Structure 1
Amino acid sequence: MKSVRRVADPQTLKALAHPLRVRLLGSLRTDGPQTASELGRRFDESSGSTSYHLRVLAAHDFIEEDPEQPNARDRRWRARHDYTAWRNRDFDDDPVGSEAARFMRRRQLDNVVAATERFESERAEWGPDWDDASGHSDYAVRLRPEAAAELRRRFKELVDSYADDTATSEDAEIVRIYLAAFPVRDTRY
């Protein structure tokens, strides 16, 4: 089972809700332990900038120093959790938390669009197997709130089980999977 960092404190969510910090944490989760210099090169930032933002993430327990440091000179960081989760309503009465949650939701949506556009531009390079395995689906179904919550929980379990089963396969790639579940009243969209 993948580890989840549940955030209920507005200041903690605000600490994460920074464009570079979100990218740094995502890279540590996806690509494994890295130094501030490596991350700086990856994101075209100075190592001083990435070092500062890594310390902020560490202060809020999103990351930690990697216990398997390659040498005494470079400090390598790793993610402490596989996912971050929060409940939007926990921040409704706090302007700082509410804005941070709004930023994070928008960031998730931006990631979906960017990943889709990137795949479309590279589609021919991936070959027919990945082309057939990729895509978008949308379903419009009537559900009660508890059923929608259960669907999201079971979806996460299913994704985790596939990731655990195929993580070490030679032909395995990082696959971005997004799930959005929310009620709509206007079905024209």
Structure 2
Amino acid sequence: MATPLEPDPRRDVVLDATTLKALTHPLRPRILSALRLHGPATASRLAAHLGVNTGATSYHVRQLAEAGFVVEASELGNARDRWWRAAHARTYFDTHDADQETSAAYLSAVAAGYADNAQRAIAEIATLPPEWEDAGTFSNFTLRLTPDETTTLMADLTAVIRAYRPHQGTEDAPADARPVSVNLEVFLAPGMSDE
């Protein structure tokens, strides 16, 4: 059975009860994701990208900075514009490490970000270059599995995904490589737990 890779403490953050609370607002995971995907940005640039107002974005970036999720990219700014970058490449979260309410709030914020990204991708389908038109999918598979089989499935899928070049590995990427979002959601089908 394949197992997911362990977090790298130099590049990854493992959420605990304290840091998790900083990510329970729905806009904060979206800001963090945008900085990881697109690189450093100002609050104004983030606001334009995310379709929200600059004041809200600026406030939430500062909250993320206080929690250690983003750091100032001082080499990019000037006295007027502050640039920010993600402090970590990935976030790891174990639902056993936090109370149920905080876990649910964080996971809801993450799911909202996934849904927003999917809607934006769908809106851009008509503008894709021909080579990208059939390169992705929006698919759903419902399987009947045991908890052990589900754990094995997650580990196997994670191993396949990790075998590909990460977004940060741009120096060895072909010229036509672009960031591709792969969202992996594995959960017991809602309303099915007592079958």
Q: Shorter-chain TM-score: which interval?
A: 0.7 to 0.9
What number of residue pairs does the alignment pair up?
Answer: 179
For 2:125 and 2:44, the matched residues in 1 are separated by 31
* Residue 177 (structure 1) shift: 0.9
When structure 1 is superposed on structure 2, of 175-184 and 159-168 the one drifting more is 159-168
For 2:61 and 2:116, the matched residues in 1 are separated by 24
For 1:8 and 1:74, the matched residues in 2 are separated by 32
**Structure having the larger proportion of residues in helix:** 1
Computed over aligned residues only, the root mean square deviation of the Cα atoms, in angstroms, reads 3.0
For 1:41 and 1:132, the matched residues in 2 are separated by 28
Would the aligned equivalents of 2:26 and 2:110 in 1 still touch at CA under 8 Å?
Answer: no
Structure 2 partner of 1:138: 141
What SS does structure 1 have at the residue aligned with 2:31?
A: helix
Structure 2 partner of 1:7: 15
Q: Name the CA shift for 1:169/1:141 in 2 (closer, same or farther; >3 Å).
A: farther
What SS does structure 2 have at the residue aligned with 1:110?
A: helix
Would the aligned equivalents of 2:15 and 2:92 in 1 still touch at CA under 8 Å?
Answer: yes
Q: When the two structures are superposed, what TM-score results if normalisation uses the length of structure 2?
A: 0.73
In structure 2, list runs of 5 or more residues that go unmatched.
Answer: none
What SS does structure 1 have at the residue aligned with 2:187?
A: coil
Q: Greater relative contact order (Cα 8 A, min sep 6): structure 1 or 2?
A: 2
In structure 1, list runs of 5 or more residues that go unmatched.
Answer: none
For 1:173 and 1:143, the matched residues in 2 are separated by 36
* Runs of 4+ more than 4 Å apart: none
For 2:119 and 2:48, the matched residues in 1 are separated by 23
Task: State which of 83, 86, 89 in structure 2 corresponds to 1:76.
Answer: 83
Correspondence 1:142-181 to 2 at 5 A? 142-145=145-148, 148-164=150-166, 167=170, 168-181=173-186
Correspondence 1:67-146 to 2 at 5 A? 67-91=74-98, 94=99, 98-135=100-137, 136-138=139-141, 140=143, 142-145=145-148
Equivalent residue letter for 1:159:
I
